[in-house]
Structure 1
């Protein structure tokens, strides 16, 4: 018999089953997420049963205090569980408690009052200078249709040469590239506008694309088009990058967004100051941009270990 059947009241188990079924049918969560939520709530019920010295019941869930949930998180942390897993577990418990609250069976306020575990900041994974240039060049060669090859190269050049998010590049219109334009006015997250210098390579790439594109490009409509003439979707560029990774032997971290990371990292390595890079990227806070100092330091240490005679 499943251990959970012994340590939890059947009414509570039935509600948990109904919640998981609703997540699968209504929210359409992935199988991996559902398995994780099932495991997290099973572990919580096991903890609660040990804590209460009796099988967990709906009444016990209704009487949960923030201290009970903190105790569970602390126990998991002692078992060596990391912050990401703890955060996901807390998210699952909150979802389960909200399910019970909607049915009048529990109060979810206690879980809502707990701050999620602070997540470790993972360093961005930029490409090297050589890899970034290889990607841009490959974008102009791998597609079967010449105009599509030129389109891909223009988009990738904007990501690497101007530090744009892919959504920002795909929202550009012909109007943004006026005669002799030297800069782009980009509207990013939160409606924040910034001015980004337009490199000659990026401008020429766009001009080549406009010349070869078989579709009429209205001045106020999206500049980049898909094969059938509709607005180009980010997923298409992501698939093109996947082909390039295979063709060029690049790591899985070589994504369109990695070109934006590469833009920032290479600027910093070349002597750019953080405040200017913050403005170019459109970051609201300098602390967001400071993560690139960690990347640059990591690259320096890697070079030191590989090249220094005392390493």
Structure 2
């Protein structure tokens, strides 16, 4: 297209902005995916791609596109997100006609494992992008970032009141048995909450819930769980990818980076160290290295 955006990709972006009220970031990402597909198909088919030709796309064409994108270095999760965006585009371009069915790449099933950093971010982003309103997308992103980036339980995140605003470098969290703890806020997590607070259309009195549902009441955990369930289906992630799995991943990734078990116990709000020790099974090799370094004769 000689540097020009394809009319179909442009129309898709306008639809997302005007009719679906998606965020600028989401529109840019989805429009870029449509543009990649259209550029690929023009070369793959050797002809100009218009709406009529696009309506004849089949599963073989989609498989070829995914193989092409895999050649660009896309992993399973990124490829699944790309396919999800492509389905949305094709559904719009064909005005509701049946689009080719193609199962996305799936993450191998096996022993329980934490969600990888890439999967955690992809999951949160997919949930946010699928939201019906931009402010709801900002809300969902903030909640899931609290689970993955601060290790909160879903009930702890949804139990926060607006009194936490304005945010600082730490957050006081009330956990089980009404015990409070202080958790550090990464800049990305703090920024996500602040963006949500700017966009939420409801007033946020200090003593009322920070995170609101679509009609203004406190956000329900079930809403978050259903959103995550939808995203993991679109991304081909396993059934164990739940909101709580993000907290689990927070713990195992910190442990893998050298976090002390006692410090991790405090961050997670566990009453006993035994609750925290379950995470050591995920990174036993790392802990063995720590043990050997601490006790030079351990290996002898």
Q: Matches of residues 172-211 of structure 1 in structure 2 within 5 Å?
A: 172-178=160-166, 180-211=167-198
140, 148, 151: which one aligns with 1:160: 148
Offset, 1:298: 7.7
Alpha-carbon distance in structure 2 between the residues aligned to 1:200 and 1:140: 19
Q: 3-state SS of the aligned residue for 1:290?
A: helix
Consecutive unaligned residues of structure 1, counting only runs of 5 or more, are 1-122, 302-311
Q: 3-state SS of the aligned residue for 2:129?
A: coil
Alpha-carbon distance in structure 2 between the residues aligned to 1:201 and 1:167: 21
Offset, 1:220: 1.1
The answer as to whether partners of 1:126 and 1:261 remain within 8 angstroms in 2 is: yes
Offset, 1:124: 6.0
Consecutive unaligned residues of structure 2, counting only runs of 5 or more, are 1-110, 289-300
The answer as to whether partners of 1:139 and 1:156 remain within 8 angstroms in 2 is: no
Alpha-carbon distance in structure 2 between the residues aligned to 1:140 and 1:240: 9
Tell me whether 1:233 sits opposite 2:220 in the alignment.
yes
Q: Tell me the alpha carbon deviations over residues 271-302 of structure 1, each in whole angstroms, 9 at most, x when there is no partner.
A: 1111110000000111110111101138999x
**Aligned CA distance change for structure 1 residues 140 and 198 (closer, same or farther; 3 Å):** same
210, 226, 232: which one aligns with 1:245: 232
212, 228, 252: which one aligns with 1:265: 252
The answer as to whether partners of 1:161 and 1:199 remain within 8 angstroms in 2 is: yes
The answer as to whether partners of 1:139 and 1:150 remain within 8 angstroms in 2 is: no
Q: Matches of residues 1-311 of structure 1 in structure 2 within 5 Å?
A: 125-178=113-166, 180-297=167-284
Alpha-carbon distance in structure 2 between the residues aligned to 1:197 and 1:184: 6
Q: 3-state SS of the aligned residue for 2:168?
A: coil
Alpha-carbon distance in structure 2 between the residues aligned to 1:251 and 1:297: 23
Offset, 1:130: 1.4
What TM-score comes out, normalization by structure 2 length? 0.57
**How many residue pairs were aligned?**
178
Structure 1 stretches of 4+ with a deviation exceeding 6 A read: 298-301
Alpha-carbon distance in structure 2 between the residues aligned to 1:225 and 1:256: 17
Rg larger in structure:
1
Alpha-carbon distance in structure 2 between the residues aligned to 1:267 and 1:247: 28
Alpha-carbon distance in structure 1 between the residues aligned to 2:216 and 2:285: 43
**Aligned CA distance change for structure 1 residues 299 and 126 (closer, same or farther; 3 Å):** farther
Offset, 1:190: 1.0
Q: Tell me the alpha carbon deviations over residues 1-36 of structure 1, each in whole angstroms, 9 at most, x when there is no partner.
A: xxxxxxxxxxxxxxxxxxxxxxxxxxxxxxxxxxxx
CA RMSD of superposed structures (Å): 1.9
The answer as to whether partners of 2:280 and 2:287 remain within 8 angstroms in 1 is: no
What TM-score comes out, normalization by structure 1 length? 0.55
